[in-house]
């Protein structure tokens, strides 16, 4: 029995992706800090897809020891797809940022993602059909002056994942590494990064996607042979491409 791992699965894109992949008969390993929401998600999916096997793990991926504890557990499963979706952002000027919040963001958005990615790549690099998908952002391919720290963290995710994908291809390993770059997506992300109780996407964006639409884009990326799936912020179309960064040897 094989599984797809989704981190940050209790809400937003992660939650929607869990439902979408269940429609494709994928057995799931769902990871988040919020065990209550994970169990509710599991129950909701099983109500529609009772044949799906679902495991849930309450893990704080911003803590290094928790990441390694998760890896010890995951070594007992056969994984087809790892989706590193967990993350949060910080908006506002760099010089006004809270250092502890910045450290937590880097630990979650960057450090845990790299640790899980390298573990997965080393274990499954020679196995046909395995895929790693890391969630970056359109902000990872630019500098968002309203959220430079977040842009920097997602830039690392983008360059790391594209680099890993090229390395795997150059060494003729069948494992595929891919990066998703969403633009405005209606989740709780904006409220968390801005530190506000209410945030209206309709009032702040002319166009945006829902978490469900983004989960469908994830499926398109997984089914393709491309490395990058990015939302074009000008026309909001989802575009698949080989790489977006400039490479040199």
Residue 248 pLDDT grade (very low, low, confident, very high; cuts 50, 70, 90): confident
The DSSP string of 19-40 is HHHHHTT-EEEEEES-HHHHHH
Gap between the Cα atoms of 87 and 162, Å rounded:
19
Q: Is the pLDDT of residue 19 over 60?
A: yes
Average model confidence (pLDDT) across the chain: 93
Which pLDDT score, from 0 to 100, does residue 201 have? 63
Q: Is the pLDDT of residue 193 over 60?
A: no
SS3 assignment, position 97: coil
Which pLDDT score, from 0 to 100, does residue 198 have? 72
Lowest mean pLDDT across 14-23, 124-133, 176-185, 214-223: 176-185
How close are the terminal C-alpha atoms of the chain, in Å? Answer: 40
Is beta strand 131-135 parallel, antiparallel or unpaired with respect to 176-181? parallel
Q: From the centroid of its chain, how far is CA 2?
A: 19
Which pLDDT score, from 0 to 100, does residue 233 have? 87
Q: What is the pLDDT of residues 220-240, one digit of tens each?
A: 999 999 999 999 989 999 999
Which pLDDT score, from 0 to 100, does residue 191 have? 47
Q: What is the pLDDT of residues 115-174, one digit of tens each?
A: 999 999 999 999 999 999 999 999 899 998 989 999 999 999 999 999 999 999 999 999
Average pLDDT over residues 21-40: 97
What structural domains does the chain harbor? 2-241 (3.40.50.720)
Sorted by sequence, the CB contacts under 8 Å of residue 21 that are 6+ apart come out as 4, 6, 28, 215, 219
Q: Is the pLDDT of residue 47 over 90?
A: yes
Q: Is the pTM of this model over 0.85?
A: yes
């Amino acid at each position: 029995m094989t599984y797809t791992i989704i981190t940050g699965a209790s809400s937003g894109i992660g939650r929607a992706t869990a439902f979408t992949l269940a429609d494709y008969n994928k057995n799931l390993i769902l990871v988040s800090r919020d065990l209550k929401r994970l169990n509710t998600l599991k129950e909701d999916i099983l109500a529609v897809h009772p044949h799906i096997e679902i495991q849930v793990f309450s893990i704080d991926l911003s803590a290094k020891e928790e990441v390694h504890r998760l890896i010890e557990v995951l070594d007992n499963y056969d994984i087809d797809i790892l989706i590193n979706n967990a993350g949060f952002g910080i908006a506002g000027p760099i010089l006004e940022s809270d250092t502890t919040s910045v450290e937590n963001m880097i630990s979650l958005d960057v450090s845990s993602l790299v640790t899980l990615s390298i573990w997965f790549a080393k274990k499954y690099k020679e196995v046909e059909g395995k895929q790693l998908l890391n969630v970056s952002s359109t902000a990872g391919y630019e500098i968002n002056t309203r959220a430079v720290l977040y842009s920097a963290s997602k830039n690392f995710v983008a360059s790391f994942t594209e680099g890993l994908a090229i390395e795997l291809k150059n060494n003729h390993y069948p494992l595929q590494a891919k990066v998703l770059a969403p633009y405005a997506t209606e989740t709780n992300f904006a409220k968390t990064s801005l530190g506000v109780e209410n945030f209206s996407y309709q009032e702040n964006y002319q166009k945006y996607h829902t978490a469900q639409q983004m989960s469908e884009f994830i499926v398109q990326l997984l089914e393709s042979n491309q490395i990058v799936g990015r939302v074009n912020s000008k026309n909001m179309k989802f575009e698949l491409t080989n790489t977006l960064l400039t490479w040199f040897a």
